[in-house]
Amino acid sequence: MLVRITFLGTGAGTPGKDRYLPAILIEDGLRKILLDAGEGVQYRLFEVGVSPLKITHIFISHLHGDHIFGLPGLLATMAMLGRKEDLVISGPPTGITNFVKSSMEIVGDPPFHVRIYEVEPSISTKDVINEENFNLQCVLARHTVPDCAYSLNWRTYIGKFNPERAKELGVPVTLWKRLHMGETVVLDDGRVIKPEDVVEVKGSGLVKIVYTGGDTAPTDSVIDISRGGAQLLIHDSTFSAVEDGSLVWNQGHSRSVDAARVAKEAGVERLVLTHISNRYSDPELLAAEASEVFMNVIAARDLMSLVITS
């Protein structure tokens, strides 16, 4: 399993010359997912060579303009290019359906259908979408409006499967895939079969990416959803550590060091700082601040790409 993450826009509030508004492209071979759709998202997609027709899912964190004002134009372009395939959109229930419907009404009679998943974020993790080898979860971020922090989870094969051994143990073929993807199963006779009994284990079989929605003050709910082997946490870092913490948090945002503390407590592998204010010309300064708390950290730049494998 290989997942590519491309940061199309990493700014906050207003666009800058080198830092567009929030949008992240996730590619897993089957899907092309957008996390938020800030103004300018179409131009960035063109720059990385991805047609709007190829986008399969759009997960909107919240309904502030810097995260959604690129969506109407994107939908219009899809219609003008003759898109036929369904498009999946998720977002908070406080307006996502009306916003999408209003955008589609401007288009006229679009040739494709939009499936909308309204998500009521809460402090406990909720399943939003379950597809073949992919699961989307949501938890409430700490912002000034309802805000979904998303966990994107892929389950894939953990190593080479030994069918002969599975037959020797009397494991039904219907359970082979679950074992191959790292699940423990219980047979009808009560025996417990672990993946390592029939698989030459090479890895965890799990790819997990957590996105705070770009906007959040530090919160336990994001720590909780990030636990359990997240390779990547993409966290709000609107401000530098020199700013007043209580003021920043009341605005529903985080500083570089706040994001680092969340990453450290959650035990993630890598932290990416995003939603960076254009007041900072050199985002590496924020990464340097965060690295005093959590070593494996980078500051996102527009068009930067990362690859994660299971």
Active-site residues, by number, are 66
**What amino acid occupies position 214?**
G
Residue with token string 């666009």 = 15
Judged by phi (left if over 0) then psi (alpha if -120 to 50, else beta), residue 40 lies in left
User: Which residues lie closer than 8 Å to 206 by C-beta, 6 or more apart?
Assistant: 153, 154, 155, 156, 182, 229, 310
151 near 210, Cβ under 8 Å? yes
Q: Which two tokens stand for residue 304?
A: 């930067």
Residue with token string 């359970």 = 175
Strands (E), the chain: 2-9, 23-27, 32-35, 57-59, 87-91, 114-118, 126-131, 134-140, 148-155, 159-161, 185-186, 192-193, 199-201, 206-211, 232-236, 270-274, 297-299, 305-309
Q: What is the DSSP letter of 239?
A: B
User: Which residues lie closer than 8 Å to 305 by C-beta, 6 or more apart?
Assistant: 4, 5, 6, 7
Q: What is the DSSP letter of 104?
A: H
Number of H helices, E strands in the chain: 10, 18
- What distance in Å separates the CA atoms of residue 172 and residue 175, rounded to the nearest whole number? 6
138, with CB counted inside 10 A (0-12, 13-18, 19+), is buried
56 near 40, Cβ under 8 Å? no
